[in-house]
Amino acid sequence: MAFTNALSASNLLKHKEKASSNVIKLTKNNYERILEGPRDSYIVLLLTATNPQIGCTICQQLNPEFDKIADSWFSDHPDGDNLFFARADFADGYREIFQAFQLNNVPRLYLYSPSEDNQAFNEGLEQLPIPNANLALELAQNLKEATQKNINVYEPVAYGNIIITAVFTFCSVLLIKKNFASVSTILKSRPLWGGLTVFSILIFITGYMFNAIRGSPYARPTQDGGTEYFARGQQSQYGVETQILSFVYGILAFSAVSLVTKVKSIENEKVQFVVVAVVSLIILSAYSILMLIFQFKSPGYPYHLLQLWS
């Protein structure tokens, strides 16, 4: 009889129920029994290493997506419907599993298909591609093509975030309602909106979004024990550059506005002349700093104003 000695779907379901999730946890004691043939179900195996010290970024990204796939499948198929998920994580300390598969890099995705053969755990398996983007959706599509089973991917509901948002919204509305006159005055404040607008312009024109998207480091230590605050080239930048450049642009903006709107109100001509000269010198110095920074990042740039440093 076919599958007489197979690890049946009901046995795999018991292994799954022993875990804290819908993914069977492989150990040095159970991995051969679970993965070897014969078997009457599909098994999707993830070999990964999520320990941050190992530095496998894709492992850390793929792990929750793999859980999402398993949770979505068992949400629609509580009995497994002959498709199960298993995982071995190098962080759990079971090196024997990874040595048995003779792996030198992770993550790896494998698919075991139903088989009547007495296959070893490392025989008859198909390696699946690691998704590049939309990890859960791509993996579900790959599994559908390989197993002919349609996996509906459900995003987990973050009830905690919903509750926090609802409480915050309720408290905010209540607070605004009780203090509507004061809030209305604040919201109509031209200096407030002007300040927020200028602040937003300063941080965005100096590369805040670039740093956020790229995950740029704040600064970089040098080999002699110092710190590098500016990265060479136009395709890289440190977080501290945004702060320094925002400060310089802020000085320029404040100086220019003051020169146009405030200085003309000074009645004493001599004082007015001195203030104009000082503010103009500040503008010249700040703009010189900007050009020197640009020269540092682009050494071929030929122009400068004041040579404040070499």
Nearest to 263 by CA among 285, 282, 271: 271
Give me the residue label for tokens 């000269």.
Answer: 277
Q: Which pLDDT band, with edges at 50, 70 and 90, does 225 fall under?
A: confident
Alpha-carbon distance values, 126 to 43, 68, 110, 177, 289 (Å): 11, 21, 5, 62, 59
- More confidently predicted of 65 and 7: 65
Q: Which pLDDT band, with edges at 50, 70 and 90, does 74 fall under?
A: very high
Alpha-carbon distance values, 297 to 20, 300, 310 (Å): 51, 9, 14
* pTM score above 0.85: no
Instruction: Tell me the pLDDT tens digit for each residue of 266-310.
Output: 888 899 999 999 999 999 999 999 999 888 888 888 887 887 665
Residue 188 clears pLDDT 70, i.e. is over it: yes
Q: Which helix (H) or strand (E) holds 195?
A: helix 190-205
Rounded CA separation 179/182 (Å)? 6
**pLDDT confidence of residue 278:** 94
Q: Which two tokens stand for residue 44?
A: 């999707």
The mean pLDDT value for 9-31 works out to: 90
Instruction: Tell me the pLDDT tens digit for each residue of 246-268.
Output: 999 999 989 998 888 888 888 88
**pLDDT confidence of residue 215:** 81
Strand order in the sheet with 83-89: 24-25, 83-89, 42-48, 108-112, 125-128
Nearest to 31 by CA among 81, 101, 124: 101
Residue count of the chain: 310
Nearest to 88 by CA among 22, 26, 23: 26
Residue 2 clears pLDDT 70, i.e. is over it: no
Beta strand extents in 96-219 (DSSP E only): 108-112, 125-128
- More confidently predicted of 1 and 149: 149
Q: Whole-number mean pLDDT of the chain? A: 88
